[in-house]
Chain A
Amino acid sequence: MTRDVLQGKILTILVQDFEFQQPDLDDNLRDVHGFDSIDAIELLGKIERVLGFPLTREEKEKAMEIRTINDILNYLETIQQGRAQ
């Protein structure tokens, strides 16, 4: 999936399921949208469905460094590239 496609899908999830109001790609998820560790775990479950394959424990732990929506997109691109190789 291209970054644009991923961005559309992630924004849809964040707006519909996490009730984000007007998210900006560089918003700090915690400070601006009250996104916490429980939300992060919940989002990872949804990301697995977007990607179409389960994430490994290491990949999930790596996700805890995410702070912005752009970070999420970078993370997804890295994972996709890793799987492609």
Chain B
Amino acid sequence: MTRLDVRKTYKLYIGGAFPRSESGRTYEVVSAKGEFLANAAMGSRKDVRDAVVAARGALAKWSGATAYNRGQVLYRVAEVLEGRRAQFIEEVAASEGLTPRAAGASVDAAIDRVVWYAGWTDKIAQVLGNLNPVAGPFFNVSAPEPTGVVGVLAPQTSSLLGLVSVVAPVIAAGNTAVVVTSASRPLPAVTFSEVLATSDVPGGVVNIVTAQTAEVATWLAAHRDVNAVDLTGVAGADGVDWAALEREAAGNLKRVLRPVLSDGVPVEPDWTADPGLTRIRAFVETKTVWHPKGL
């Protein structure tokens, strides 16, 4: 007799806790082949609002942590991901319709990407900062600081590699994140939230909302307490007008990371390419401090 497996309830991840959607709604998530996988929580604008509150609350401590500490935490994320490698391969394969081998390569790339960003935390200020030789008796230094709360529309297609590729740079730089997952492939993101919860990432630093992108994206883009938005996930999202989102973002002059365009149409980036520093640059502010030098 085969044992009946215990299924997981897929919930949101907000402020370090796993609530259901305040709306009480769920939606059916199916595999690439169309088979039922789970009922995911269908996050609402109020869930997004709660996530922003959590992210704002976590910002001071996370941005104030040492870069070394953030690096260790991110590396810990990679360690825990590695431990759950098999589980992710299964979920990614189901979500994205990949062979186990291709899913394995994708999961491996995701783990390696987190390691890559873990190593960046204490180099960002060195690479993006400057001592400026002003023409006068002043010490003058420019250094990058986290922008603040970043709203991330995670890619629709690449459910884990794409997800970590957009989340890791945001938090490596010291920001906190509100992530709206792929609408149709949200399950690896929910499992990833379990990784975050067990790898010393303080609650609220990353908040993950499974939702219909079109329903919540506008609220996130318009939210006055969000400092920046990453619009990567508009590519392939149903019913999303990214220009409208960018217009909403202008309300408080959010920093906007635009989607990659191909012939004017958003497309999902090639996640296997060298990510470069674009995603880190997008979510840091340069602060320049002057002080006189004298006796």
Q: Do A and B come from the same complex?
A: no
* Residues of A participating in the B interface, judged by any CB pair closer than 8 Å: none
